[in-house]
Structure 1
Amino acid sequence: MRAAGQATRDRILAAAKAEFAEYGTAGARINRIATAAQASKDRLYAYFPGKSELYAAVTEQWTAQTTAETALRADDLPGYVGRLFDHFRAHPENARLQAWADLEPADERGAQVLRRTVDLKLAEIERGQHAGSVTTDIAAPTLLRMLTELARSTAVHSGRGPARRIAEQRAAVVLAARRLVEPAA
């Protein structure tokens, strides 16, 4: 793809990410995305045949970014929650996209992207459960949802307070995650 074409595609993805973060998939509008991207609807459709393909591309992008920056490892689930807290503080739009993904059923394209991301994380949690370093009292899917929501909701509601208060909240989230994943004695 030529540089100008890549720049247009990148603008469309950035505008779509902001739109999906604000309105979810049902409320997102192609007209607003095209306008925000300074592209015509025809140009947008040249890159993405429909809203579901655009949502899948945005989902691929934000899940890849989140995964790369947070690195879930079975031997450090509390650290993962801390990194996820930091990520959601730095990228509140990703926290909103995560919330929308939980609220709205994705179409098959978006669901496949989410499933690939979640399956890798579940496999890592299950590896820790089999190794005895992660509790088996909570099923891996439930544990992943609890850890993700713990980080997301606390990060979103931590506000713009003093750094000391945010650090205390982060430490509390990590402590809660440690207690949550610890195997029974």
Structure 2
Amino acid sequence: MRAAGHATRERILVAAKAEFAQYGVAGARINRIAAAAKASKDRLYAYFASKDALYTAVTEQWADHTTAETALHAADLPGYVGRLFDHYLRYPDNARLQAWADVERLHIPEAEQVVRRVIAAKITEVERGQRDGLVTTDFQPITLIVMLTDLARTAAAHATRDDGKHNIAERRAALVLAARRLVSPDQG
């Protein structure tokens, strides 16, 4: 792909991410995405065959970026929650995309495959932590991952809405402490 083509594709992905974060997949409009990307609908469809294909590309980019930046390790699940909180503060569209994914429950097989790949690695890591006695066995790994993700996302969303009423560092510290208590195998 030539440099101009690559730049157009990237503009489309940026515009699509913003559109999906704002409206979800159901509410997203290809016309708005194309206009925001300064590309024609025909050009958009030359890169992405359908809205589902475009959403899949955005999901892959978002999931890979979030995973690379937040790295879940069984020995440090509270640290993961803190990194995820920081990530959602820096990239609020990623938090909104996660929320839309939870709400819409789409059946886009390619996007679901991306999410399953990311979740499978996290489940494996939590299972390892449970086997090693680092993580409570009171919860199924997927349940624990969902709870930790929701804690980070909700805390980040409220931190950005509070208009400085709460210290973000204090909120982050409280979040990490809550995660530590949640995952600790020593709770009785």
The question of 1:121 aligning with 2:119 is answered no
Report the secondary structure of 1:8's partner residue.
helix
* Equivalences for residues 145-156 of structure 1 within 5 A: 145-156=146-157
Q: Runs of at least 4 residues of structure 1 off by over 2 A?
A: 159-164
Give the CA deviation at 1:23.
Answer: 0.4
Percentage of pairs with the same residue? 65
- Amino acid corresponding to residue 180 of structure 2 in structure 1: R
Equivalent-residue separation in structure 2 for 1:161 and 1:42 (angstroms): 42
**Would you say the 8 A contact 2:25–2:55 is kept in 1?**
yes
The 5-angstrom pairing of residues 148-167 of structure 1 reads 148-159=149-160, 161-162=163-164, 165-167=167-169
Name the CA distance, whole Å, in 1 between partners of 2:109 and 2:166. 43
CA shift, 1:163, in A, is: 9.7
Question: Which residue of structure 2 aligns with residue 72 of structure 1?
Answer: 72
- SS in structure 2 opposite 1:158? helix
Please identify, of 159-168 and 108-117, the stretch whose mean Cα deviation from structure 2 is larger: 159-168
* AA at the equivalent of 1:180: L
The answer to whether residue 109 in structure 2 is matched with residue 112 in structure 1 is no
- For structure 2, the residue ranges without an aligned partner over 5 or more in a row are none
Superposed CA RMSD in Å reads: 1.2
Specify the alignment match of 2:81 in structure 1. 81
Which residue does 1:175 correspond to in 2?
177
Q: Give structure 1 stretches of 5+ with no counterpart.
A: none
1:73-117 superposed Cα distances (whole Å, 9 cap, x missing partner)? 000000000000000000000000000111112311111111111
Q: TM-score scaled by structure 2?
A: 0.95
Query: Which TM-score applies when normalising by structure 1?
Result: 0.97
